[in-house]
Structure 1
Amino acid sequence: MTNNVFQHGTVGGLRIHVMPTKAFKTYAISLYAGIPLDEKTVTSTALAPFVLRRGTATYPETTQFRERLEELYGAGFGFDIYKRGDYQIVQFRMDTINDSFVQSQESLLEQSFAFLGEVLTRPLVEDGSFRPSYVATERETVRKKLESIVNDKIRYAAERCIEEMCRNEPYRLHPLGQRADLDQITQKSLYESYNSWLDDAILDLYVVGDTTAEEVEKLVQRHFGRVQSEAGLYSSKFVPVSVNEVRTVEEKLDVSQGKLNLGLRTSITYKDDKYASAIMYNGILGGYPHSKLFVNVREKASLAYYASSRYDGHKGIGTIQSGIETQNYGKAVDIIEKQLEEMKAGNISDLELSQTKAMIRNQLSEIPDSAFEMISYDFNRQLSGKERTADQLLGQVEQIGAEDVKAAAETFQLDTIYFLTGKEE
């Protein structure tokens, strides 16, 4: 069995991905559940996992739930909610010590599957709905998380720029939902939406550790029996959005430092053969401390407290984030736009190319050190339908020259300028 290769299969409504390896002392288990981002369901889908972690049929009290994890030699359990392209993804994770390192009567892998299967499919139900106190408490948890975004102005500006740019697309929605929807969600309506979410979600279960695909399939049949939905596929159809004119949005809040964010559209996505050129483009533009934005906007012109860029390959958009003095708005926009033009003109030095390749090489070569990083990388394949190992991606990155980055730059079109500024005195 070669190392670092996932074996793929399907059991019922679950796609299964197993990497048998003795490289780690733990089992890494990850379950992804994805549904299309939708205004009607986004908030209840986000709230459900918070309630699921409070109690199950066997461990109805939150203290029992936590004690059970302690009994599994301090197994780690957690979840994340995020968006990838136009999908809202809930990811459950478990990290359990390998059976060979402990004296346990029953397999810890089996007990972890039993626990995760129960969290997902056998929550605590009272009178045909979730426990009211759990729903009430977790509603406040989600509300506070959404409110904390408003208080963190850097995050807030980044979210608002996306909201404005994608105002007619599902991608505008925050993966944690909308504060205005929380009060409408009752224990009964949440239980109903949880059931339809479980029926409709695209489910991918990953296991990395000292096991086999056959063993995992048996454990799935035993502990995820309720999951009957057809194992669907993520739709990877992508329609590039063409930009007719740049939109400028200014918002005033009580801030001492202006936040200038720009949104760009590109036709290059994760499944595109030019993906390596796009990540090189982002790296040279603003992904790292040696990038054009950092050097020219922050260091040379002293116009920004921070200046960086990001690229979302599942959605085909790039974003630029910077913090500036409000009176420097015009200068900052000019100098940022100049960096975009420099990229399109192919004014890229050998040093910028080699430093960016070194940074990407470091990131990609660290993936095999972490089971969850390998899982996360492979999940990109499920989302995009594109086969490309980290080694293959690295090989493509190493081949890229200034002309390739210039060609990628020509696909990035400025779409939205969002400026968060202070209220007038």
Structure 2
Amino acid sequence: MTNNGFHHGNAAGMRIHVLPTKAFKTFAISLYAGVPLDEDTVTPTALVPFVLRRGTATYPETTQFRERLEELYGAGFGFDVYKRGDYQIVQFRMDTINDSFVQSKESLLAESFAFLGDVLTQPLLEDGSFRPSYVATERETVRKKLEAIVNDKARYAAERCIEEMCRFEPYRLHPLGQRADLEGITPENLYQSYKSWLDGAILDLYVVGDTTPEEVEKLVKRHFGGDKSDTGAYSSKFTPVAVNEVRTIEEKLDVNQGKLNMGLRTSITYKDDTYATALMYNGIFGGYPHSKLFVNVREKESLAYYASSRYDGHKGIGTIQSGIEAKNYGKAVDIIRKQLDEMKAGNISDLELSQTKAMIRNLLSEIQDSAFEMISFDFNRQISGKDRSTLELIEQVEAIGAEEVKAAADTFQLDTIYFLTGQKEE
């Protein structure tokens, strides 16, 4: 058991994490399947859950699949595909009403496990592989999602900046894969990909609700009775990438508004004891409406339509996103770099410190109000190998002064400047 209240164990080749609580009227179930990001497998892996949600051996038609959820008192089912560090994660989610609130012959938790077990391990097969019509439709779904990124220029610029900055690392890959690879995916080779994905994935199953670790373990063995012997574990090995020079990339597309994105490298990651200082650094620099980027670039100088920063603690990367007039490129780069220098110089006001602490404290406190947020927070621990409660993180944040933020700032190095601009000459 950790200080986050979760009980941890293993069964049927997966790691199990249970938080027994009467605080919610529902059961929150999350199943994470993680594999290393890889050029050859990223696209089929992304496509697999789209096909799995179309039908199972028990509920082969998509309408039957949905009707089954209705029978479970309108249980929610969904999935996400994203990346954490250099891993591609597929997350399945279910939320089901607690048995004590309905007149149900069967345990709804058990029924939900049966359903999720079916989705993951008993997909609908025709002639020994996935149903061709499902594969064809879902290939189009993924293609459209990838095209939507290109059409949303702010998202596109953010992705391209990461692609350029991490061009020699798996992290450059988008978790939904690559459009060019979709053509070559057939029902047969996708089914083979699915089998090796399921066999190789690190599986973490979470349940939050009025249950016990013993009950969950029984249900896992009954409904996910896989033959995996090894649960596997995420590698939390991290090698900071040295920045030798700042690369600048300019790309021209048909855009009205320029997108200026920058990538930073830091040696601080989620598992470090100084993680809280990196959170504070990002918050003061560009994470919130009171941050230096927002106030100085957008409000004082009116140089940007938007300006903010993000920090990925699993990868040790900071990113800056801004939308500017193309003619203001030079000015915008200068003023953003000035804010980076201000952080390194430790020019941080008491007000910036207190406002940022309040924002982080609120975000961390709100985690307790949502079962899925609690699950997500604990999953960060599984990936990073760092056991840290929200309360401990809040206490660490509260204790940080300008000097500690300055020390964090010294680790953030500008690596890449990416500018997406219009094709028309100004």
Q: How far 1:2 moved relative to its partner?
A: 11
Give the stretch that moved more between structures: 139-148 or 220-229: 220-229
Q: How far 1:12 moved relative to its partner?
A: 2.6
Q: Which amino acid is 1:125 matched to?
A: L
Partners of 1:260 and 1:13 lie apart in 2 by: 45
State the match for 1:399 in structure 2.
399
Aligned to 2:17, what secondary structure does the other structure show? strand
Q: Are 1:295 and 2:328 counterparts?
A: no
Equivalent pairs counted in the alignment come to 425
Query: Under a length normalisation based on structure 2, what TM-score does the superposition of the two structures give?
Result: 0.99
State the match for 1:169 in structure 2.
169
State the match for 2:337 in structure 1.
337
State the match for 1:122 in structure 2.
122
RMSD in angstroms over aligned alpha carbons?
1.0
Q: How far 1:208 moved relative to its partner?
A: 0.2
Partners of 1:2 and 1:229 lie apart in 2 by: 24
State the match for 1:377 in structure 2.
377
Q: Are 1:42 and 2:58 counterparts?
A: no
Q: Are 1:102 and 2:102 counterparts?
A: yes
Partners of 1:285 and 1:162 lie apart in 2 by: 19
Partners of 1:102 and 1:4 lie apart in 2 by: 29
> Are the equivalent residues in 2 in contact too, given 1:199–1:229 (CA < 8 A)?
no
Q: How far 1:226 moved relative to its partner?
A: 2.2
Partners of 1:332 and 1:383 lie apart in 2 by: 36
Partners of 1:307 and 1:227 lie apart in 2 by: 50
Q: How far 1:230 moved relative to its partner?
A: 1.2
> Are the equivalent residues in 2 in contact too, given 1:3–1:21 (CA < 8 A)?
no
Partners of 1:89 and 1:365 lie apart in 2 by: 25
Cα deviation per residue 1:297-335 (whole Å; 9 max; x = unaligned)? 000000000000000000000000000000000000000
Q: Are 1:187 and 2:199 counterparts?
A: no
> Are the equivalent residues in 1 in contact too, given 2:357–2:398 (CA < 8 A)?
yes
Partners of 2:219 and 2:164 lie apart in 1 by: 45
State the match for 1:226 in structure 2.
226
Counterparts of 1:135-174 in structure 2, within 5 Å, are 135-174=135-174
> Are the equivalent residues in 1 in contact too, given 2:3–2:388 (CA < 8 A)?
no
> Are the equivalent residues in 1 in contact too, given 2:12–2:224 (CA < 8 A)?
no
Q: How far 1:229 moved relative to its partner?
A: 4.7
Partners of 1:115 and 1:251 lie apart in 2 by: 47
Q: Which amino acid is 1:206 matched to?
A: Y
Partners of 1:405 and 1:368 lie apart in 2 by: 27
Q: Are 1:53 and 2:53 counterparts?
A: yes
Aligned to 1:185, what secondary structure does the other structure show? coil
CA 1:329–1:159: 2 relative to 1, 3 Å: same
Q: Which amino acid is 1:396 matched to?
A: Q
CA 1:229–1:188: 2 relative to 1, 3 Å: farther
Partners of 1:24 and 1:12 lie apart in 2 by: 27
Q: Which amino acid is 2:234 matched to?
A: Y
Which 4+ runs in 1 deviate beyond 3 A? 1-4
Q: Which amino acid is 2:14 matched to?
A: L
State the match for 2:31 in structure 1.
31
State the match for 1:88 in structure 2.
88
Cα deviation per residue 1:78-131 (whole Å; 9 max; x = unaligned)? 000000000000000000000000000000000000000000000001111000
Percent identity for Structure 1 against Structure 2: 84
Partners of 2:333 and 2:4 lie apart in 1 by: 45
Partners of 2:176 and 2:259 lie apart in 1 by: 23
State the match for 1:21 in structure 2.
21
Q: Which amino acid is 1:21 matched to?
A: T
Aligned to 2:126, what secondary structure does the other structure show? coil
CA 1:2–1:248: 2 relative to 1, 3 Å: closer
Cα deviation per residue 1:158-201 (whole Å; 9 max; x = unaligned)? 00000000000000000000000000000000000000000000
State the match for 2:79 in structure 1.
79
Query: Under a length normalisation based on structure 1, what TM-score does the superposition of the two structures give?
Result: 0.99
> Are the equivalent residues in 1 in contact too, given 2:43–2:176 (CA < 8 A)?
yes
Partners of 1:12 and 1:73 lie apart in 2 by: 28
Gaps of 5+ in 2: none
Q: How far 1:228 moved relative to its partner?
A: 1.5
Q: Which amino acid is 1:334 matched to?
A: D
Gaps of 5+ in 1: none
Q: How far 1:22 moved relative to its partner?
A: 0.3
Q: Which amino acid is 1:288 matched to?
A: Y
Partners of 2:21 and 2:166 lie apart in 1 by: 42
Partners of 2:229 and 2:242 lie apart in 1 by: 36
State the match for 2:244 in structure 1.
244
